[in-house]
Structure 1
Amino acid sequence: MLSVGNFLSEDEDEYLQNDLNPSILKLAATIRILAEGSYQKGAGNDFHVSLSQSSVSKVFRECIEVFIMLCPDWISFPTAEEEKYEIKEHFLNNTGFPGVIGCIDGTHIKIVALKMEERFKYLNRKGFYSLNVTVVCDNKLRIRYISSHHHGSVHDSLVWNTSDLKQHLKENFGNGERNTWILGDAGYPLEKFLFRSADEGSPECRFNKIHSKTRNIVERAIGVLKNRFRCILGARQLHYTPDICGKVTAVCAALHNTCIHFKIEMPIVNTSPYVMSDPNDVEMKDH
């Protein structure tokens, strides 16, 4: 948090300090809301923050807008050949699956009920209002791509089919890139650059065991993300507009990557048989 705070103080000083609240208090209030899922009043009453609820509301939105501008610095899909080779080698050595540069999955982020005429768009198949968020992670649980603005009623395959990531991988394939793909579950279509699990009962279903072992790392990444930033945990719901909720989710993903970069201890999440060869080997490239 202090490293991000220093960055904000240097580059966004005028924006963040346009009133009497120093930037460190603004960051403290924002990080508490993100990390604990606490309400603004609770964050404002914190002994170390001491801001009114109205001030916390303003501060939170300000900080989210600043953080969202930093997201591209911390969330980027691998493009350098050396980095892609490193990721592929790690997956191959740990799971036996070649060519993998990431694993994809969707997760629902709860939001509060909206205007009656908009509710149907956000009501998901599980019966609650949400955003359908798509995440791609790499071998070190870093989030390399996130799409956090789709309605909860939208299917994972539609999110994928309209994504800039699909277009990027399609162009790479058209330019001759081979043996490079991401792994997804049965909710995604089979592509030349996306391997999904095989249908049960088919001759190819034996392939599912190694596929599942490899792909489950994205479930672990999502679990770590939500347990680090409990404002997006299933037991909570975000009390903001869908636009702000999408930005909050993306910001949490970027902060998750900074935690990995600075080797901050991960929450324990028991969701995956995937074992990293070196759990401490989580360095990100310098930014």
Structure 2
Amino acid sequence: MKARDVAVQGVLAGVALVAAFLVWQREPSRAQGEVTVEDAQASALDRIRYDEEARFVELFRDPQDRDTVWVRLGNKPAKPGSEAGTTDGGVAQPGLGDAGTDAGSIATASPAPVPPPRELRGNDVALKLFSRFAPLRAQRDLGVLDDKKLDEIGLAKTERGLTLTLDGTPRTFLLATPASGWGAPYLQRTSDGHVFLLGPGLLPDLEAASSRLVDRRLHTFDVDGFDHIVISTGTTSRAFVASGKPPGAVQLSPVDAPSTPDDFARNWHDRLWRLTPVELLGRGEA
């Protein structure tokens, strides 16, 4: 090959690398009419917090592994006066006065202690959802609305909120509470009062975080990721070899009869393979 040909190929390879780098750095395409609520790089996002009246959900990166997201689920203390007191049925208590004039007493129940928040490993849905909040985008920018309009769309007295921590700095937003319990997800940026209409798929995963965002896998290898299995009980064990590749069925055969698939063993193993835990221990829980 001539030196000129080598030089031309080198230039073409360099141009290709530059083009690939520019495509990689380019801002992701957005839907028509979409607006930016908070312009930030995904690498700057450290934590997402979603608040409701009685509970909260947080998604945050693992300090030791930025590709791992944890889900923090917590409850809030009951507000004063939210639990009605119990009324004593007209029986005077000793030391409170004359039994003939005491009309009764009210015993105020102590609020139940709030359990500590739980931290559980996030699944792939949590990881994808985390990246969708930086930059945070919405379908429309409704501008600054008056108090009457804020009340109509559920932002005047809402107790729902969203906080994004970007490079250690929190950015706070209010989330509408529709009167019917569902509706368009309106969001208000507290820094300037602008109201936005979010897309329909951004908040439902946070609202149902305990079922949608928690990693419930018992293992991370694929159905074709093993060569044999051994089933043991006490001092007795049986070994099977695996054959076949997805999308076809994976067969299990006894080690001493590899050409004779055992359908019972395969069906039993398939059921075990698909087991999903109902409850999990969080990080630090005994």
Same-fold call, TM cutoff 0.5: no
Q: Which one has the largest radius of gyration?
A: 2
Higher strand share: 2
Question: 1 or 2 for the larger relative contact order (CA 8 Å, sep ≥6)?
Answer: 1
TM range (shorter): under 0.3
* TM-score normalized with structure 1 length: 0.21
* TM-score normalized with structure 2 length: 0.21
